[in-house]
Structure 1
Amino acid sequence: MAGKTETLTGLLDRDPRIWRGRRPGTWRAPVIPSGHAALDAVLPAGGWPAGALTEIITPAQGIGELRLLLPLMRRIAGDGRRLVWVAPPFEPYAPALVQAGVEIGRMLVVAVADRRRDLGWTLELLLRHPETGLVLAWPWTLPPSVWRRLQLAAAESGALGMLFTDGAAGGTTAALRLSLGVCEGGLELRILKARGGFCGARVPLML
């Protein structure tokens, strides 16, 4: 019995995807720093989960959600990986992105004619592509089966998927789920779900 216990313990220690709820400090899954020290301090392992989906629930468009992700965009494009925008509600303003230090030569904007039929398929292909580092998408809502496929695609390639939604889907397979609210001088983030950590934290960010 002791031998079996040691074997199981070794397996748990070797696999960073396994989280033991009473030991949040053992979470070792790959992450990319968010560029915001206050946010990294409450995210498991200190950053955005790589090879996974993050769901960002926004009450309205244009409240600062893109400024939140500018450090991540700079890092992804600076590393030579592809930064893909899928069905954005507004055309990305290239001069502002350049001024913020984003290498737009690594950026791709994808329009989706039939969102109901093609959006999930498009996101899955992009997340699986080996050159993709980050996918930003505005699906608003997706069925659970599509969330599962997208999570598998991101895990396969190591890409990050940032999906902006209205929160109507409830439980999703996203590794990280957070909601945004406006506060004086910036945003307040509330962690609703964090794989490998505890939820409920509120983080004000001056952007």
Structure 2
Amino acid sequence: MNPGAATLAVPSDPRLWRGSAAAALRAEATGHAALDAVLPGGGWPLGALSEILHPHPGVGELTLVLPLLARLTGAGHHAAFVAPPCRPHAPALAAAGVHLPQLLVVEPASDAERLWAGEQLLHAGAGAVLLWCASIATTALRRLQLAAERGGGVALLFRPPAAEREHSVAALRLRIARHAGATQIDVLKCRGARPPGRYALGQ
């Protein structure tokens, strides 16, 4: 190398992956220690979109996010359910530590309205927005990502397993399912590191 040549400055953008090194990302802990230990930043990425792929309601997808909701609402931040497949059971949420006055439930009439609602809540700075949407265009994914970046919160998009075949701008992508009576999570994609594999919820 020519000693007089300029030194290459490597950008410090957290979206840049450096081989096997995990990037330093801003994140909110999932509340599941074994999962947090393998995710860049130690949890759900802040100011970014995360996807949770699941075959049907009731496989453990809410158990996965309850610690986050309890911590955020307990600290006075708002969280929102947008177009949930079932009406949330308030007593169960309260028993899990969720502060119900800080929780919003939005039931839009159309896909366009649910995406609009999700964007507006993220723009407004909600601590966490949980959005259920079976089919979503790439442009809409990008809009959600930009809204999450602007608001700085946690954006969680729940989709069917078939979405795994589609390109996604999400920083984190998890697949959750039941196997042999246990809930298991596969980390399919995580910004800043190689996907670490499978995790059993409750470990």
User: Who is 2:135 aligned against?
Assistant: 141
1:121 to 106, 116, 119: 116
Q: 1:2 to 1:203 in 2, by over 3 A?
A: farther
1:5 to 7, 17, 25: 7
Structure number with higher helix proportion: 1
Q: Which runs of 5+ in 2 are unaligned?
A: none
1:108-167 alpha-carbon deviations (Å, 9 max, x no partner)? 00011122x32222211111112x010011112210000001001101111111111013
1:34-59 alpha-carbon deviations (Å, 9 max, x no partner)? 11111012111211111111110001
Q: 3-state DSSP class of the match of 2:65?
A: helix
Q: Report the Cα offset of residue 3 of structure 1.
A: 7.3
* 2:146 aligned with 1:152: yes
* 2:39 aligned with 1:43: yes
1:18-38 alpha-carbon deviations (Å, 9 max, x no partner)? 322x1423x111001111111
C-alpha separation in 1, matches of 2:43 and 2:188: 15
C-alpha separation in 2, matches of 1:143 and 1:4: 43
AA partner of residue 148 (structure 1): R
C-alpha separation in 2, matches of 1:102 and 1:70: 7
Q: 1:41 to 1:113 in 2, by over 3 A?
A: same
Aligned residues: 199
Q: 3-state DSSP class of the match of 1:196?
A: coil
C-alpha separation in 2, matches of 1:23 and 1:89: 38
* 2:76 aligned with 1:80: yes
* 2:18 aligned with 1:24: no
Contact map agreement 1:24 1:44 (CA 8 A) in 2: no
C-alpha separation in 2, matches of 1:148 and 1:33: 24
TM-score (norm 1): 0.89
Q: 1:3 to 1:151 in 2, by over 3 A?
A: farther
AA partner of residue 163 (structure 1): L
C-alpha separation in 2, matches of 1:185 and 1:41: 24
AA partner of residue 60 (structure 2): G
* 2:103 aligned with 1:101: no
Sequence identity percentage:
43
